Amino acid sequence: MHWHHHGDDTEKDDIHPVGRLVLLSDGFHNFIDGIIIGISFLVSVPLGIATTLAVILHEIPQEIGDFAVLLHAGYTRKQALWLNFLSALMAILGTLVAFILGTVGESFINWVLPLAAGGFIYIAVADLIPELQKTKKLSHSFSQLLSLIFGVILMVGLVFLE
């Protein structure tokens, strides 16, 4: 039996698999981002805010890219926006999970903070370094590299501050 909606001129079958793959990986990525944000807030509010800003800044180009991929995969603009929104909700879910687990005990934070630091280093390496290579201005690259190093030192510092 095949369901057909009247407002839907496209069949679900002609969505390219890469579209689903992007949504899956992006949702997972956002969930991890959410956990990192949640943990950061559990450590301190300023760190949480800084983390949230860092994640948002690195997510914007990512989401725009994903939106383009979704359109290319055969989703309508409306579907692509909606799916991107649902994917972003995964970050909120991740944050809530971190809060819930964080209230369970300090041991969770101690166990997961190094993971969060690793997550940041991963984000920095995977997303920022290709961006750095696009930037031709040496001074700009240098300041980005300095802030990157500072961020890593900050995370490591927080782990040992406990």
Structural domain span for residue 21:
15-161
Does 116 fall in a domain? Answer: yes
**Exposure pattern of 124-160 as b/e (b: 16+ CB <10 Å)?**
beeebeeeeeeeeeeeeeeebeeebeebeeebeebee
User: What does the pLDDT read at residue 20?
Assistant: 85
The predicted-structure confidence for 56-91, as pLDDT tens digits, reads as follows: 887 777 788 888 888 988 999 999 999 988 988 999
Does 10 fall in a domain? Answer: no
Does 22 fall in a domain? Answer: yes
Query: What are the CA-CA distances from residue 9 to residues 14, 32, 74, 102, 123 (Å)?
Result: 11, 35, 12, 47, 39
The predicted-structure confidence for 82-141, as pLDDT tens digits, reads as follows: 998 898 899 999 889 888 877 766 666 677 767 767 766 666 666 655 655 665 565 666
Number of H helices, E strands in the chain: 6, 0
Q: How many domains does the chain have?
A: 1
Does 101 fall in a domain? Answer: yes
Does 23 fall in a domain? Answer: yes
Does 4 fall in a domain? Answer: no
Residues in the chain: 162
